[in-house]
Structures are given as structure tokens and as C-alpha cells.
């Protein structure tokens, strides 16, 4: 069985936040409460959900779709919120294909810590753009993941799409 290591996620996961208290210290809730959308790379705020650039992406343009509600369970979300998450996931997928010219998109949830959730107490949908041969030798030989695009640049490219 192959193993995939993502050490670039460690600083994000180890940020000082108490995942056992309601939303106190949750990095996603902190982002939601902030008025600095540009600084926090918030692309869209909906009625019940929001879309952000992942600060520690697997690929350039890796987006997260999150409910405003702090919960680790889809079951805790009302049907309207779950539906909005899917609509924003669809919009994110379209934006990645139209703006960044992604030739494919991976969409997924890691529900719970044992399922791979780095921040298991706030549900979030990963939307990852994919291109042919987007994985190279660097992660294998140099333990380094190449992200060739600046987050500010990707944010600027995608922001207008989410405002339509």
C-alpha cells in the first residue's frame, strides 16, 4: 500500500485552537467572523456557507466549502445548508475548470479524525483542481510539494467568478 504524506499541512493543523470547545478557536470560525475576506482568501459568503482558498493546498486552487455552523457532522446541518454546500461545491468546480482550466476536479469530505480530517470539528468539503501529470517527482525524492501559483494570484482570478 502506498502512503501519501502531506507535511505542509502540519503548521495549519497545529495552530493554537481548541477543537473540543464549540467554535472557540476554530480556524474556520475565526475566518468566518473576520471582515478581512481578502486577507483570509474568502471567495464567497452565502446564507449558510462560505468558500475559501485552502492555505495549505494540495494543488493551486484547492478550495474549501464550509457551513457557517461549527459542527463535525453532516447530520447536524439542516437540509438547506447541505444543499447550499453542494451548490457552492458545484460553483467551485465550475470556477476551477473555467478560470484555472482544470481538466478534472476531486471533491470530498473527511468526516472525523480517523477518516483523515485535519480539523474534524468543522465540516468542510475539499474541491481540488486536477491537471494531467500534476504530481511530479518532488514529493517522492525531495519531500517537497511544488505549488507553482501564488495564493494571492489564484484568489484574484477566482474572486470575480464567485461574485457573479
37: left (phi over 0), alpha (psi -120 to 50) or beta: alpha
Q: How many CB atoms lie within 10 A of CB 52?
A: 21
Which of 122, 124, 126, 133 is the catalytic position?
A: 124
Question: Is the torsion defined by CA of 40, 44, 50, 52 positive or negative?
Answer: negative
| DSSP letter, residue 8 | G
Task: Judge contact between 32 and 98, C-beta under 8 A.
Answer: no
Give the helix ranges, DSSP H, for the chain: 10-13, 27-33, 37-40, 79-99, 138-141, 151-162
Residue that has been written with the C-alpha cell 457552492 in this structure: 88
Instruction: Identify which of 23, 25, 27 has the alpha carbon closest to the alpha carbon of residue 9.
Output: 27
Q: Clarify whether 124 is annotated catalytic.
A: yes
Catalytic residues: 124
Amino acid at each position: 500500500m502506498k502512503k501519501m504524506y502531506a507535511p505542509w499541512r502540519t503548521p495549519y493543523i497545529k495552530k493554537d485552537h481548541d477543537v473540543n470547545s464549540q467554535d472557540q478557536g476554530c480556524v474556520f470560525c475565526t475566518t468566518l467572523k473576520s471582515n478581512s475576506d481578502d486577507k483570509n482568501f474568502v471567495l464567497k459568503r452565502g446564507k449558510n456557507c462560505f468558500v475559501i482558498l485552502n492555505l495549505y493546498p494540495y494543488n493551486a486552487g484547492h478550495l474549501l466549502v464550509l457551513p457557517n455552523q461549527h459542527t463535525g457532522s453532516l447530520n447536524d446541518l439542516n437540509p438547506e445548508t447541505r444543499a447550499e454546500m453542494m451548490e457552492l461545491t458545484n460553483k467551485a468546480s465550475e470556477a476551477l475548470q473555467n478560470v484555472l482550466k482544470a481538466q478534472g476536479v476531486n471533491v470530498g469530505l473527511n468526516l472525523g479524525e480517523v477518516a483523515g480530517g485535519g480539523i474534524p470539528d468543522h465540516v468542510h468539503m475539499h474541491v481540488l483542481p486536477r491537471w494531467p501529470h500534476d504530481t511530479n517527482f518532488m514529493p517522492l525524492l525531495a519531500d517537497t510539494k511544488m505549488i507553482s501559483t501564488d495564493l494571492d494570484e489564484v484568489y484574484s482570478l477566482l474572486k470575480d467568478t464567485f461574485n457573479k
